[in-house]
Structure 1
């Protein structure tokens, strides 16, 4: 079923560390992304390099292969995209691009929930073109959300962060409390890792419900700090 999987077949635990992905097109894309930062201001370049590092962990490291076996690893993979790479890429854009909060929140929510529809998720893991459609839309939707947060007025940004956290937590809760496994792709791949597919799915939901909310907490802290400095102009940033 997974012969078309971009990350290859489901690995066994003993061979996992050998499953690095050195796809030349992927590597060239990551290098090209790094080169884009040469003319950026220092802080924006650092954000860009951080995003490239997160993307390398997601797609080059053995996490890519592990995400074929475990839905919980796929959750980590998705969280790297939407909660680490996307906000760093959004921050790297400086003040040059503006996205409305309604548009950003809708894009981020729709892309995340769409690809967790079981039929679409299973299809994406079995087809390389759909797989990359999933990755690109997840990253683009999350980028739009975080871009909107970074350029919005404080009250609007706070509402957006709350909305983003709510939809992430709700999806995590649904996965945690579902009474049966939802994704056929992982029905026969989790046992070598010492868990059944339902336990794996519950772990994925917990990761999204708890770990997935950390970027929103960081963003809320950043927003509060920005507001504090605006009220206290004599305090150094």
Structure 2
């Protein structure tokens, strides 16, 4: 017996993704004018559109119906919505692209108070994974479409807020100097990865909904759960490693830029000082 692997062209999701892509492409093209000193690069466009495709894969492709039958595929859907898609979409932004909305973003962050704090993003991200993997809630999401939509909204919101503090091209309330971004990331990746390890080595299946499913692909409920936990743990470790490398490179780049600014400032001060020094009479 084979699982249902059909495509799901939900009109609301299709319209939203097409609209987001169209707005971005329009803004990207408008920003690449001869008068713009810092036009967005082509790779920004590509990663943003790839992020839209990842959203489409998670919500419209066979991953969605397979997730209702196989726990491991449900986990794939979770990590796409929580990490992969938000990372790609946010990397597609630049200060120039966000310029029309920058003031509104700052206004919202100011008014949001503690909701816009990095500490809240850490708790929200971690809680989104731990709480939704409580058996009663996980079973409810698998059985009821409305709860499943709420689960998706939670993951996407938590992912965007969390990665916005790390990757946003406009300033946030997270200090990006030194070890702060790495500690911020480790505080979530380790705790969520631990959840994946618990699922991987659990002695028996804990999700009743998937216990009652046929053993698709030869996966028993316990092995299906172990595979799902391994997917979560490995994905968290991979993302953590890649993100640490990215943050380290960005830290070195920002340090080099700071040194260049300091050198230019010192040169200007030296030139000004030389201009004020009176000429020596012969």
Report deviation, 1:62: 0.8
Deviations 1:67-119 (A, max 9, x none): 11111111111111112112223334545446432121111111121211111
- Aligned CA distance change for structure 1 residues 190 and 229 (closer, same or farther; 3 Å): farther
Match of 2:27 among 20, 24, 39: 39
Match of 2:164 among 129, 143, 147: 147
Query: Secondary structure of the residue that 2:81 maps to in structure 1?
Result: helix
Q: Determine the C-alpha separation between the residues in 1 that align with 2:195 and 2:4.
A: 32
Q: Determine the C-alpha separation between the residues in 2 that align with 1:92 and 1:107.
A: 23
Counterpart in 2 of 1:64? 64
Query: Secondary structure of the residue that 2:68 maps to in structure 1?
Result: helix
Counterpart in 2 of 1:113? 130
Unaligned runs of 5+ in 1: 1-11
Q: Determine the C-alpha separation between the residues in 1 that align with 2:87 and 2:254.
A: 22
| Bigger CA radius of gyration | 2
Between 1 and 2, higher relative CO (CA 8 Å, sep ≥ 6) is seen in 1
Counterpart in 2 of 1:177? 201
- Aligned CA distance change for structure 1 residues 211 and 50 (closer, same or farther; 3 Å): same
Q: Determine the C-alpha separation between the residues in 2 that align with 1:51 and 1:195.
A: 30
Report deviation, 1:15: 5.4
Contact residue 3 and residue 69 of structure 2 kept, 8 A: no
Contact residue 70 and residue 216 of structure 2 kept, 8 A: no
Q: Determine the C-alpha separation between the residues in 1 that align with 2:45 and 2:153.
A: 21
Question: TM-score, normalising length from structure 2?
Answer: 0.72
- Aligned CA distance change for structure 1 residues 221 and 123 (closer, same or farther; 3 Å): same
Match of 1:231 among 255, 272, 276: 255
Question: How many aligned residue pairs are there?
Answer: 222
Q: Determine the C-alpha separation between the residues in 1 that align with 2:185 and 2:216.
A: 38
Report deviation, 1:50: 2.0
Query: RMSD value over aligned CA atoms?
Result: 2.2
Counterpart in 1 of 2:118? 101
